[in-house]
Amino acid sequence: MKRSRLFGALAVVLILTLALAGCGNTGTTPNTGDTAKKPDFKVALVTDVGGLNDHSFNYLANKGLEKAKADLGVQTAVVESKQMTDYESNLTKFAQEKYNLVIAVGFLMHDAVAKVAKQFPDTKFMIIDSEIKDQPNVSSALFNTEQCGYLVGVMAGAMETSTGIPNMLGKNTVGVVGGMAIPPVNDYIAGFIQGAKSVDSNINIIVKYTGKFDDPAGGKTTALTMIGQGADIVFHVAGGTGNGVIDAAKEKKVYAIGVDADQNYLAPDNVITSALKGVDTATYSIIKATKDNQFKSGDVFFNLANDGVGFAKPIKAVPDPVVAKVNEAAKKIKDGSIKVSNEMPAGYGK
């Protein structure tokens, strides 16, 4: 008994020592109650259950908040929701503390925002990726991600029809790994398919869903099966699962396309570009507008025309004519001569 107690204590000490030693670069940490220059304007960010390390919209929203803090001198607070039932209480807490703007990240928070916004008409709310109508104090940031999906689709399609690119398998096949078949994922994929088919209607596009956003091991195995079937460019719309997809491309020395943020850092030679969703710029611009008394309720669309979505700078392996083709498509989307639908083309995403 005595000895086992000693072991127990030893184990706890070991865990704590390990926890205190640092390793790698420490990223940004959330800030609460900073005594900045203008403490009169307070902004709070409530994440959904994905948390700040989702490599995706929660992470980007926090980035936009950090920028607003640095550039505009606003006072900021961040809280990560541990479960769905926390949304309402987290939002209410900041509204009660008289925050000027409360930002809710993700379409999962729709109901909570709609309810809390009614109770606190003097507080401004912003929700990302969901639409709340007819509520004068709520602004909904919506992204036309089918447009950036289309552009990386054009890039993938044009890569397949080009010759002389190293490491291509020459089977005119690309793969898409989705997290779940839900609108925020399928918008991207619908655009991607239309874009790739606009270059060559015979291109073979394999679309698979892993059913999870937190399973990189499953993502990698799925991507490996696609590469085994001849896919040499894999596009992922799968959050944390997608890290495995990029890792598969890296291991098999083929190409990957990242999503939401520029994910080239995950595999610099393999991630040719990323479909960007400017959650950070959207967050920043709405904070700025609210601070300047230009808060607009209702839908605020972020698309190619206002740089709300886009694609990351392609790596050198992408030939210039391919990039030119993508830029041309971007121009045509902006001037309206190409319309991208967010409906899945027939035969996909069933």
Partner 1 sequence: MFWHILAQPELWAATLAMATPLALPALGGTFSERSGVVNIAMEGIMLIGAFFGVYAACLTHSAWLGMLGGIIMGAVMSLIFAWVTVSIGADQVVVGMGVNIFAAGLTTFLLNMIFGYGGTPTSTPHLPNIHIPGLSQVPFIGPVLGQQNVVVYIMLLAVIASHYFLFHTNLGLRLRAVGENPQAADTAGINVWNMRYLGVIIGGMLSSLGGVYLSLGLLNSFEPNMSSGRGYIALAAMIFGKWTPFGSLGAALLFGFSTALSMYLQGTGNISTNIIQMLPYALTILALVGLVGRSTEPAADGIPYEPNK
Q: Specify whether the CB–CB gap between 311 and 155 falls below 8 A.
A: yes
Q: b/e string for 209-231 if b means 16 or more Cβ within 10 A? A: bbebbebbebbbebbbebbeeeb
Q: How far is the CB of 345 from partner 1 (least distance, A)?
A: 13
Q: How far is the CB of 269 from partner 1 (least distance, A)?
A: 12
Q: Which is nearer to partner 1, 166 or 228 (CB)?
A: 228
Residues found near partner 1 in the complex (CB under 8 A): 1, 4-5, 7-8, 11-12, 14-15, 18-19, 21-29, 51-53, 55, 59, 62, 181, 206-209, 211-212, 214-218, 220-222, 224-225, 228-229, 240, 243-244, 247, 251, 265-267, 348-350
Give the integer Cα–Cα distance in Å for 106 and 11: 39
Q: Which is nearer to partner 1, 1 or 292 (CB)?
A: 1
Q: How far is the CB of 180 from partner 1 (least distance, A)?
A: 9
- Output the CA–CA distances (angstroms, integers) from residue 236 to 24, 52, 99, in the order listed: 26, 20, 37
Q: Which is nearer to partner 1, 79 or 289 (CB)?
A: 79
Q: How far is the CB of 268 from partner 1 (least distance, A)?
A: 9
Q: How far is the CB of 166 from partner 1 (least distance, A)?
A: 22
Strand 271-277's sheet: what is its strand order?
204-209, 173-178, 233-237, 255-260, 271-277, 309-311
Q: Which is nearer to partner 1, 18 or 294 (CB)?
A: 18
Helices (H), the chain: 2-20, 57-72, 86-96, 110-119, 145-161, 183-199, 216-228, 241-251, 279-291, 320-334
Q: How far is the CB of 117 from partner 1 (least distance, A)?
A: 27
Give the integer Cα–Cα distance in Å for 138 and 122: 11
Q: Which is nearer to partner 1, 137 or 264 (CB)?
A: 264
Q: Which is nearer to partner 1, 56 or 147 (CB)?
A: 56
Q: How far is the CB of 327 from partner 1 (least distance, A)?
A: 29
3-state secondary structure of 233: strand
Between strands 309-311 and 271-277, the pairing is antiparallel
Q: Which is nearer to partner 1, 60 or 151 (CB)?
A: 60
Q: What is the DSSP string of 162-212?
A: -S--TT--SS-EEEEEESSSSHHHHHHHHHHHHHHHHH-TT-EEEEEE-S-
